[in-house]
A and B are shown apart, each in its own frame.
Chain A
């Protein structure tokens, strides 16, 4: 759909058909120009409809002030409700110095006072007085913008409605001829859009402001009902009014076309880096879910610390604990956050979830992220925020938040509390599908004790370990250990230690046995060898004896032969 509209838009902006070009007057109101693709229709009237206190006057005044200061277009504010001095006072609180603008002839305020009691209608009349005042004001400062706040007051001032309506018609025609961009504010009606049917005259652009209460939490919303000749976002956009005026969070206008990074950033835990083959991707979203007390915040704080160690900024949203409490608690496990705060790299933002509606929270986050420009954001825990809104609202706003963070290449880590007994792998409203990396922390209960286990359930686009690690919070931060996996199943904690000791003992005894055997063999070999030596000695002795005997035999033989010869010689034998 977006693509088709873009095509149409580029057609509108092409040089060939200048008559179709709808020029826009930038409002400078944060987010508004984005959802309207430029601002209000230039030279035409736009109607801002809303109930009491919905921010109509602020919208109108901000349109003029920003027009004068940022876009060089001066403006006339014709007020039918508040006097000039009231306006000056009220807008001082949101940082607009109207007196200064008026002195510099950038703004003209004309308060129109209508009191029915004082007006007796005695025949034909017209609203030329209004025209004259408006025209002279426009001419005096060369205004390009006009705000009429709230035109309906006229209807309470005059009884002759037929004349009034004819005059309004004339007024809008006249304003169009003048070529000024006009904002008309109007009270919301019960059966019609506006109380007095002003939408009948202003057909080009109609914007609805709305403050709704949901479970005692108010959320301001803005919706473009109609914008002739222009594409526009059609959703309801939450908005804030604070010391900087109006800010609208145009996050529904984001698309899935953000660039992704291949950089890895450390998780703050060395072994976790290894498990993820190098760390989180920059600009990815990480979910850390787990049951109470599994160390989610500690993991988050480690990440925050690691971010600040690299010399970049981290924004830490805490919806459960005060900054002091987090600092103290993390100090006790060796994660020093205080120095990060002092170095200006870590900023805490703590709010009770019930303080605003979900959209307001996201809007304040959006604003703060824009302002602080952190490299990573921690939201601890996101599950608390979720309780504020309805599931549908939650899902859509979180999608928008994550899209926003991703498009600005901000790495985000969310913790989520899973209620004990629930399926560990079911997160609220299925936010897990929005996450790139999901780390699950869980209790492993064996042998009457609970230990923490950590594993990477998913991690998009990277090789990651499938192993469960035992996760120990020491006074030097988090340590990940191999869990014992063996024939006895997965063991952790003291069971693991016991098992390991048992293993060690068994190994030792095996070792000893081997040694024993080895010695036995040696001994036997030695025995054998000594036997062999003895035998050999005996053999040698025997051999010697036998040789001696044979030598003697040989000697005696020779002697016998000698004797025989001697005898023969004696007998003279021949």
Chain B
């Protein structure tokens, strides 16, 4: 629903500057089964990544109901949670990723407002 607002082609060039092209973004999305929220979060993530990190990201979806120990290891409480494993430092954002602006800040794709 917020998709239209968030499409800003101008940002693309900017993001290209932040990370070196060789850098691979390792993203892990924690969800609990195929819920509405998890599906929404995945599609939001996919869209943002395509837009800003085309060709240099990897998304892994972890269903914590199948592997609770992983949730413990990464200290997952809220779902969905997106963890940026790489590049370091590790970052964690929660929610269905609908607020693209906040996702970009959280993943440090776009530097915070100046």
Binding site for B on A (CB under 8 A): 110, 112-114, 118-133, 135-137, 154, 157-158
Contact = CB atoms under 8 A, between A and B. Distances in A.
Nearest to A137: B68
B79 A128 contact: yes
Nearest to B30: A129
Contact of B77 (A112, A123, A124, A136): A112
Given A127-B77, A129-B77, A157-B77, A122 B72 contact: no
B102 A125 contact: no
Interface stretch (B18-26, B52-60, B90-98): B90-98
B76 interface: yes
Nearest to B105: A120
A123 to B, nearest CB: 4
Nearest to B41: A123
Nearest to B89: A118
Contacts of B106: 120, 122
Contacts of B41: 123
Nearest to A140: B68
Interface of B: 30, 32, 37, 40-41, 44, 64-65, 68-69, 71-72, 75-82, 90-99, 102-103, 105-106
A373 B76 CA distance: 52
Contact of B32 (A122, A128, A137, A154): A128
A120 B92 CA distance: 7
Contacts of A136: 68-69
A112 B75 contact: yes
A130 B68 CA distance: 10
Nearest to A130: B77
Contacts of B98: 122-124
B interface secondary structure, majority: mixed
Contact of A129 (B76, B91, B97): B76
A121 B68 contact: no
Contact of B64 (A114, A120, A121, A132): A132
Contact of A124 (B68, B90, B95, B105): B95
Given A119-B78, A122-B103, A128-B78, 15 more contacts: A110-B72, A112-B75, A118-B90, A119-B94, A121-B95, A122-B82, A122-B94, A122-B95, A122-B106, A123-B95, A124-B40, A128-B79, A129-B76, A131-B32, A158-B78
A119 B32 CA distance: 18
Contacts of A126: 37, 78-79
Contacts of A137: 68
Given A128-B32, A129-B78, A132-B64, A123 B91 contact: no
B46 to A, nearest CB: 14
A129 B37 CA distance: 13
A128 B103 CA distance: 20
B93 A132 contact: no
Contacts of B71: 129, 132-133
A515 B78 CA distance: 117
A114 B74 CA distance: 11
A125 B105 contact: no
A119 B84 CA distance: 12
A113 B76 CA distance: 9
Nearest to A113: B75
Contacts of A154: 77
Contact of B94 (A110, A125, A131, A132): A125
Contacts of A132: 32, 64-65, 68, 71
